[in-house]
A and B are shown apart, each in its own frame.
Chain A
């Protein structure tokens, strides 16, 4: 099993959009290493040729009649927004300047 490095954790934190501090990164490298070592047990189980199971019950497609029914209004949907404007969620810029 590949050893998890500090750079790996920093990369993963970036993918997960969590701005970890240096102290948090230092601590998490060690903690994740211990956890990964423990969970690697799954690789030693007799799993050869076993069908993966993603869900406890058989998944079936669920449909409903295409009829209009009550839903949240704009005010209710926006009631928890950090910022809103003209019945819309107001967000920081999404593009880079350059």
Chain B
């Protein structure tokens, strides 16, 4: 057991809290102190709720002292991505158009955290409306990667990955539309899961693409991800796409960590060419670890995955252009009056507000979506993309006939430097090449650290994909691999990350 509370896992903190070895106030204060020390450099948070978190912590400590039966994670603090509505706490989605907006209600995921008695530390940074792979598209400035402050922490959920990687919180909530939980996990040496579509309620999650969005856990260990997955997941009558079934036995699977006889499918189209040598090398070693643990390796082919990126960048902008139409300057958010117009119309105010309030990437995608959906082009673009989506789902179905899970590197490269891809949208989009197919088909996926790439010493990610509603398989494979990698490294990968409390700010 580690003595530094900020370095402890959520599972360890839960045990300490239950045994009376610490209090929620003590744990929460330790996290807030760490934020004070390092977040000036990292910028993982857009908003820290010091008073709110401590008051929840005091409440839980009191209830525990009265002998009340509490949730396993009661008193363990958590950070929430700024795309989730939090009653009484600002929710901006990284956009100027929602600057200062305080939602009058909680997302279902947030209500469940509160019911479990988990203090909410604050809201984490993200690419504007979750559009991006680097947090460089946040209207409030980028988050820096705790491994190297000159590099990106992944995106869109770079705030949530960085907050756990820099030991400011043991747990964070992320959302994943095309890789926004898994790719940030990969480049920061952390763990992240995108559950099966419908496994976690989307009520109160500000929608990017409704048929792709899914919230999930961001953590430092596979068991912690399972514990948080269990709190977040399950049926919600407020979301018509919510699956009406119990959460798969994810915690049990993480505890057993058993892959004996399991068939691990390597996706031919998601390895080799296009993947950085060090990322590929750590992937190959991880596969060998799973073989040593008793799994069997098969190779599968998913030929339609090569068109997944293209289909995604038609389907996502189409849905986004429709979802973001609600930011109209009328009911909430920013209102800007056009310059030099007397008595402007509602339409003119809308257009001026959306120009001032949205960033470049958001405008690009709204206009692309408007084009893909316009009459005359609908069949050629959106229609064709929906057909490719079916082919991808069929490829998954076929692959899962010969494999229990599929594996690949999570992202093609390690963390790149700020500015490297910001002016080239297609280069930025390629970061999600291995993560996008899961969103299109709705299947669950996890990323966990596979080691450091030889050429740059930065973390690489290992992705596991499972059939819809078989999320528990991710945790069985993830926990088995994690055990063996920790043994090989002599501890968690993040123990090798720089100690930020002594660093000085570098330019981005």
Interface residues of A (CB under 8 A from B): 1, 4, 8-9, 12-21, 24, 28, 31-32, 34-36, 38-47, 50-57, 59, 62, 64, 72, 76-77, 79-83, 89, 91-96
**Interface positions of B from 313 to 370, Cβ below 8 Å from A:** 313-314, 321, 325, 328-335, 338, 343-352, 354-355, 358, 360, 363-364, 366-368, 370
CB contacts (< 8 Å) of A50 on chain B: these are: 387, 390-391
21 contacts between A and B (CB under 8 A): A12-B371, A16-B321, A16-B367, A17-B328, A18-B363, A20-B355, A32-B364, A36-B368, A38-B426, A39-B313, A39-B314, A39-B381, A43-B380, A50-B391, A53-B387, A53-B389, A56-B198, A57-B243, A57-B468, A91-B346, A96-B345
CB contacts (< 8 Å) of B328 on chain A: these are: 17
Interchain CB contact under 8 A, B241 and A32: no
Contacts A17-B350, A81-B331; A12 near B370 (Cβ below 8 A): yes
Interchain CB contact under 8 A, B371 and A80: no
Q: Is B442 an interface residue (CB 8 A)?
A: yes
Alpha-carbon separation in the docked complex, A71 to B397 (Å): 42
Interchain CB contact under 8 A, A45 and B343: no
Q: Is B400 an interface residue (CB 8 A)?
A: no
Interchain CB contact under 8 A, B363 and A59: no
CB distance from B437 to the nearest CB of A (A): 11
Q: Is B384 an interface residue (CB 8 A)?
A: yes
CB contacts (< 8 Å) of B352 on chain A: these are: 19
Interchain CB contact under 8 A, B354 and A18: yes
CB contacts (< 8 Å) of B383 on chain A: these are: 52
CB contacts (< 8 Å) of B390 on chain A: these are: 50-53
Q: Is B508 an interface residue (CB 8 A)?
A: no
Alpha-carbon separation in the docked complex, A62 to B198 (Å): 14
CB contacts (< 8 Å) of A57 on chain B: these are: 197-198, 241, 243, 442, 468
Pick out which of these stretches binds chain A: B9-17, B99-107, B221-229, B409-417: B99-107
Name the CB-closest residue of B to A48.
B387
Q: Is B139 an interface residue (CB 8 A)?
A: no
CB contacts (< 8 Å) of B384 on chain A: these are: 42-43, 45, 47
Name the CB-closest residue of B to A47.
B387
Interchain CB contact under 8 A, B338 and A19: yes
Name the CB-closest residue of B to A24.
B363
CB contacts (< 8 Å) of B101 on chain A: these are: 80
CB contacts (< 8 Å) of A1 on chain B: these are: 380
Q: A18-B351, A54-B386, A92-B344 are in contact. List 20 more A-B contacts (CB 8 A).
A: A4-B371, A13-B367, A16-B354, A16-B366, A18-B354, A39-B310, A40-B310, A42-B387, A44-B307, A45-B388, A50-B387, A53-B386, A53-B390, A56-B211, A56-B442, A57-B197, A80-B104, A82-B329, A92-B345, A94-B346
Interchain CB contact under 8 A, A42 and B393: no
Interchain CB contact under 8 A, A42 and B442: no
Contacts A4-B371, A17-B354, A53-B386; A89 near B307 (Cβ below 8 A): no
A21, A45, A53: the one within 8 Å of B307 (CB): A45
Interchain CB contact under 8 A, A64 and B237: yes
Q: Is B240 an interface residue (CB 8 A)?
A: yes
Q: Is B304 an interface residue (CB 8 A)?
A: yes
Name the CB-closest residue of A to B377.
A2
Interchain CB contact under 8 A, B425 and A79: no
Alpha-carbon separation in the docked complex, A91 to B349 (Å): 9
Q: Is B374 an interface residue (CB 8 A)?
A: yes
Alpha-carbon separation in the docked complex, A14 to B363 (Å): 12
Q: Is B385 an interface residue (CB 8 A)?
A: yes
CB contacts (< 8 Å) of B309 on chain A: these are: 38
Name the CB-closest residue of B to A75.
B104
